[in-house]
Structure formats: structure tokens, C-alpha cells
Amino acid sequence: MAGLYIHIPFCKQACSYCDFYFLTRQQLREPFVEALVREIHSYTDTPFSSEPISSVYLGGGTPSLLNEKQLTGIFTALDSVFDLQPLEITMELNPDDVTADYLNMIRGIGINRASMGVQSFDEDILNFMHRAHNRNEALKALELLQKTDFPAFTADLIYGNPGQDLEMLKADIEQLLVFDPPHISAYSLTVEPNTRLGRQVELGRINPPDDEEVAAHFELVQESLHRAGIVQYEVSNFSKPGKEALHNSNYWTHQNYLGLGPSAHSFWWSSNEAKRWKNRSDIRHYLEKPAQESIDEVEQLNLTTLAEERIMLGLRTVKGISVKNLREKYQYSLSRKQQNWIENQVEKRMLVFEEERLALTPEGLRISDMLVVDLLNRG
């Protein structure tokens, strides 16, 4: 089973922290949909079209800027080319686009999971982020999701914002929990160089919180959601039991996926190797050239690279990684140095290692990046 990711590269305005590929000019939406349909058809009768598709994810950008006709056109094309057997079809929505009619329309098209870009309910933080929505729109969108009884939904939160103290974060979390979300993704604000935030930090106009403050935020998120029965299953992802996101879980376990639209990434196995590639982040090129010419940044991945990546992704999940699977699928065995390091971390309660499965504890997950680097450096 494989996944499909579709990148819709339009946004109403640029959020200050965002370095995804998007455009704020809306005139190209219609030609983009036509080019996307052409790209979908370019995969007719290829190995990609014969593998059953278990998840579809519409991300961006802002997919909720597309109307019914455009979405229907995309799904009709997907249906005619791919072997769609999707258990999960997720669509990212921005709160300011959501109405009851829109939710009913996307449900009718087959979307069964909504991903709401809330980020915060605090007006000052939303302004700082330069989000297009305000607090009331976020509340209304979540209320509508509940009222229309959407099959599954998730909401994004961003913590570690400049000027955000623990009380403000607590208020955001409590407000979100009022809507009883089955799933929450919580990310710490990252300062990317080519963004408005990045430039302001560089000029010294904004001071992001230090590591200790961010760690305290992360701990508060972990504990508050845990108390509400929304359990961490990956560093940034929390869900009620059985409501984990299928599409993202497939990324972490190296399932095949195909990315469509400018800047979308793909990953595909062929025997003992895999290939990763990216569509160019260039709408003009995407509109004017044949779909296959959109591809660049092709990377051939051998088993050692894949094993290391699998360790990195797997250790970010509560399930962890199976050492047996590393041996059998990736021909990767732990070195003596790695085994000693693991014993040491188990004593420090950062790791558990039982029945050939290695996983970080909640404490370990707080410093997962550092621990993963430490482990891989001993390979």
C-alpha cells in the first residue's frame, strides 16, 4: 500500500515563520488545477498507478482555497489513474475558509479527515504569526467540525512563541481540548532563515525563547494532553487510541508515497534500494512544462542510509524501532559501541529496549534529536 501527497501551493498571506512553497497570487489557481490533473494523468499505466493507495493527503499551502469544481476535478483524475483504496483522505483547512457548507461539500467528495491549522487562539500570537485567521474564526471552525460530525479531525498548535509564557500556552491547550479533538499535532516554532521571522531574528528585533523555555512548553503539552487521554505517539503527534494518522505513520515506516504538485516529495522502493525525489518549487515551470520535467533533486538511497533514516524516524515514535526489522529489511546490525550506549541510556531511563524493540521514554522524546545523533555516531 502506498500514499499520495498533493501540494496545493496557494495561501491568502505569508505566515511569518513559514518556509513551505506557496504563492499569494490567486490568479493561477485554475491553471494549477489543470496542470495537476495533467500530472496525475502522466502516471497512467506506470508502477505508481498499480500499487493500492491507502492514504491521500492534501497539504500546502492552503487546500481549502480550492472550490468544489476544482476538488472534484482532482479526485476524478486520481480515481481514473490510481488504484484508490484509501482508508484515510486528509485535507488541510485554514479556519477562515471553513463554513458548514464547505465541510459538507468536502465530506461529499470523500475527505474523511480534516486537519485544522489553528496554531493558537491568542490574538497577539496569531498577529505575530501573521496568520490569516483570528481567535473567533478558529473557535467557529472547530465548532463546525464538531457540529457537522466530521469523521475525524486534527488540529495544529505551535508552542515556543516569543512572548508566550506557560499560562498562555495552557490557555491555548485548554481551549483546544474543549472541542475534544481525536488528534493534535503540536510543533515548536522553528526559525527558518528565508522567512520574515528569520530576518527579524537576524536583525535582533525578535528574541525566540531559549531551549529551556521551549522544553518547558513541550513538557506542558505532553502532560496536559496525556491527562486528557490524548497520548503522544510521535514527538509532535498526539491522539486518542486508534486515531493515529495513517499517512504520516507511513512516512515514518518507509512506505512508498508519491508527491504531486510543485515542491512535493516522493519516495519509492525498488528491490534493495529506494529513490527520493522532489518536484521543482516553481509554479511557472509546473504550468508550462510536461509533468515529468518537473522532477529534480533525485536521491538514490542505499540500505545503510535507509537504515539510519529509519532509526531516526522510528525513534521519534513511541513505538520505536524493531532491531529484527533493521536486520532483516535493511541488513543493519547494531555495533558493540551502540549496544553499550543503549545499555547506558536504558539505565538513565531515556530508552527502553525490550523484545528486540528500541524506543525512547517520554523523557527521551524531549531530547530525541540529540539521542538519535548520539546513537548513529556510534554505528
Q: Which residues bind ligand SF4 (CB under 6 A)?
A: 11, 14-15, 18, 20, 22, 60-62, 94, 117
- Considering the complex, what minimum distance in angstroms separates the CB of residue 43 from ligand SF4? 25
Q: Could you tell me the smallest distance in angstroms from the CB atom of residue 15 to ligand SF4?
A: 3
C-beta closer to ligand SF4: residue 94 or 256: 94
CA 4 to chain centre: 13
For residue 52, what is the enclosing H or E element? strand 52-60
CB of 348 to ligand SF4, least distance (A): 37
Task: Give the residue with the Cβ less far from ligand SF4, 264 or 315.
Answer: 264
Q: Per-residue DSSP letters for 245-297? A: -HHHHHHHTT--EEEESTT-EEEEEETTEEEEEEE-S-HHHHHHS-GGGGEEE
Q: 54 vs 64, which CB is nearer to ligand SF4?
A: 64
Minimum CB distance to ligand SF4 smaller for 11 or for 77: 11
Q: Which of 225, 119, 122 is nearest to 181 (CA)?
A: 225
Contact 237, 173 (CB under 8 A): no
In 3D space, the residue among 1, 2, 4, 82 whose CA is nearest the CA of residue 43 turns out to be 82
Pairing of strands 153-159, 113-119: parallel
SS3 50: helix
For residues 326 and 107, give the distance between their C-alpha atoms in angstroms, rounded to a whole number.
39
* Min separation Cβ 262 and ligand SF4, Å: 13
> CB 217 → ligand SF4: shortest distance, Å?
19
Which residue lies nearer to ligand SF4 by CB, 60 or 181? 60
